[in-house]
């Protein structure tokens, strides 16, 4: 995919760069960068307020971006709320559901042992919460066979693990809903949105959250999708300008969806650029993306399997997963390996990846080394990674 890589200025400016940290953030194609510059140099103005031409254009482009996001996940544009990212989205949902009494007192919330902290911590803040955790199987997936016939009030799970790359089988969500038709199901789609087609009409969730910077768009913008009937019943998680219909000394009437949940000045330029990132993915096509990343995943796993001392924390190749693969090397700290590889212009991530429970209680280690693919990665990237990793193992052994 060299023709794809050519669309990313960072690789032109750093021709030796091998970037394998896409689960953390993706690089940005020229069309996304151009959209940011275009906004700030041609029609920089606030939205939903000004009656002059550049303000009207800013509003039109911002709302067109909402429509692009909605089409990308097969949603109603009224159900698309722009946020600061996945973390702020999950916090907002948890806070609003509690304030709106849409979850009972002392709610029972189902999580899993591989959850990212942004899927876990917001629920720990809910007063009286009872947290249950699904374990992780020997194949590094959420073990859905351990779901008990419990009446959960909220389920908050990762659609795809940011450590193992395992994909949640979303057909299990219907089983959970059978136990409680009023259950609220939230999926963290930060790791799936750039790799798998998502259709919220048949996903089985009530809310999804994701971040722009995972889909070749800027930081500072994300999305909440929620079912319209739930959003209409929920109280706003932020209040202020732009999200009101009327204000008196005693009370306030909220604006209709989606403005009701977008207090203050939103991330205008970032939302417009987010739409460009999604269009970039759509132009490539998920069939092409999945095939390319599946080939890289298979090659990487096979190459790692041939190296002594390497343990792989990733489902078997027969399991449907994305190209996020974590490893450890006996006797060598992942930070040392990441530093060595970084000095060779190979960028990947070492640490607990915001999943301390998974690492400490399931893997029984403090950190792993994580490789995660994007559309611009190649077999040559894998070859260079393996070569330098073997050199590092020799050096530190």
Chain segment 18-60, per-residue pLDDT in tens: 999 999 999 999 999 999 999 999 999 999 989 999 999 999 9
Based on the residue annotation, tell me whether 189 is a catalytic residue of this protein: no
Question: CB atoms < 10 A from the CB of 182, how many?
Answer: 10
Residue 1 above 60 pLDDT? no
| Residues near 92 by beta carbon (within 8 Å), at least 6 away in sequence | 83, 224, 237, 238, 261
Calculate the alpha carbon distances from 210 to 80, 129, 171, 239 in Å: 11, 24, 20, 22
Question: Using an 8 Å Cβ cutoff, are 82 and 223 in contact?
Answer: yes
Interatomic CA distance for residues 156 and 87, integer angstroms: 13
Interatomic CA distance for residues 338 and 344, integer angstroms: 10
Residue 135 bridge partners (DSSP): none
Q: Which candidate, 276, 285, 282, places its Cα nearest to that of 30?
A: 276
Q: What are phi and psi of 201, to 5 degrees?
A: -70, -30
Active-site position among 354, 367, 385, 389? 354
Q: Which candidate, 220, 227, 222, 224, places its Cα nearest to that of 205?
A: 227
Question: Using an 8 Å Cβ cutoff, are 370 and 353 in contact?
Answer: yes
Assess if CATH 3.30.365.10 describes domain 31-283. no
Q: What is the pTM of this model?
A: 0.96
CATH architecture for residues 2-21+285-396: Alpha-Beta Complex (3.90)
pLDDT at 156: 97
Task: Return the axis-axis angle of helices 30-42 and 53-73, rounded to nearest 10°.
Answer: 150
pLDDT at 149: 79
Return the beta strands (E) in the chain as ranges: 18-19, 80-83, 108-112, 130-134, 154-158, 184-188, 207-211, 222-226, 244-247, 252-254, 310-313, 324-329, 346-347, 349-351, 368-372
Tokens representing residue 77 in the block: 């544009």
Chain segment 165-222, per-residue pLDDT in tens: 999 999 999 888 988 899 999 999 999 999 999 999 999 999 999 999 999 999 999 9
pLDDT at 36: 98
Q: Where are the domains of the chain?
A: 2-21+285-396, 31-283
Counting every residue written for the chain, the total comes to 397
Give the mean model confidence (pLDDT) for residues 384-388: 98
227, with CB counted inside 10 A (0-12, 13-18, 19+), is middle
Q: Which candidate, 85, 61, 56, 79, places its Cα nearest to that of 260?
A: 79
């Amino acid at each position: 995919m060299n023709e794809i890589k050519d669309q990313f200025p960072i690789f032109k400016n750093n021709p030796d760069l091998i970037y394998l940290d896409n689960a953390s953030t993706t690089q940005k194609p020229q069309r996304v960068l151009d959209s940011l510059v275009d906004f700030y140099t041609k029609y920089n103005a606030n939205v939903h307020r000004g009656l002059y031409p550049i303000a009207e254009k800013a509003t039109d482009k911002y709302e067109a971006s909402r429509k692009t996001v909605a089409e990308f996940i097969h949603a109603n544009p009224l159900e698309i709320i722009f946020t600061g990212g996945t973390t702020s989205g999950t916090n907002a949902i948890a806070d609003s559901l509690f304030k709106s009494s849409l979850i009972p007192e002392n709610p029972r919330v189902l999580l899993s042992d591989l959850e990212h902290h942004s899927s876990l911590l917001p629920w720990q803040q809910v007063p009286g919460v009872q947290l249950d955790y699904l374990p992780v199987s020997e194949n590094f997936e959420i073990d859905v066979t351990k779901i008990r016939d419990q009446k959960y009030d909220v389920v908050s799970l990762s659609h795809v693990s940011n450590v193992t790359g395992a994909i949640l089988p979303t057909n299990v969500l219907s089983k959970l809903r059978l136990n409680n038709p009023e259950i609220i199901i939230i999926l963290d789609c930060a790791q799936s949105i750039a790799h798998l087609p998502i259709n919220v009409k048949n996903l089985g969730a009530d809310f999804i959250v994701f971040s722009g910077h995972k889909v070749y768009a800027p930081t500072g913008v994300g999305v909440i999708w929620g079912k319209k009937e739930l959003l209409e019943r929920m109280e706003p998680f932020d209040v202020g300008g732009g999200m009101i219909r009327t204000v008196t000394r005693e009370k306030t009437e909220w604006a209709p969806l989606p403005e009701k949940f977008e207090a203050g000045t939103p991330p205008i330029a970032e939302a417009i650029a987010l739409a460009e990132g999604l269009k970039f993915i759509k132009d490539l096509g998920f069939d092409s993306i999945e095939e390319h990343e599946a080939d890289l995943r298979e090659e990487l796993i096979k190459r790692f399997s041939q190296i002594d001392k390497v343990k792989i924390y990733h489902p078997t190749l027969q399991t449907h997963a994305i190209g996020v693969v974590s490893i450890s090397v006996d006797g060598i700290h992942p930070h040392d390996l990441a530093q060595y590889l970084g000095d060779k212009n190979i960028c990947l991530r070492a640490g607990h990846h915001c999943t301390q429970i998974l690492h400490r209680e399931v893997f029984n280690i403090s950190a792993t080394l994580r490789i995660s693919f994007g559309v611009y990665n190649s077999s040559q990237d894998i070859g260079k990674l393996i070569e330098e990793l073997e050199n590092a193992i020799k050096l530190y052994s």
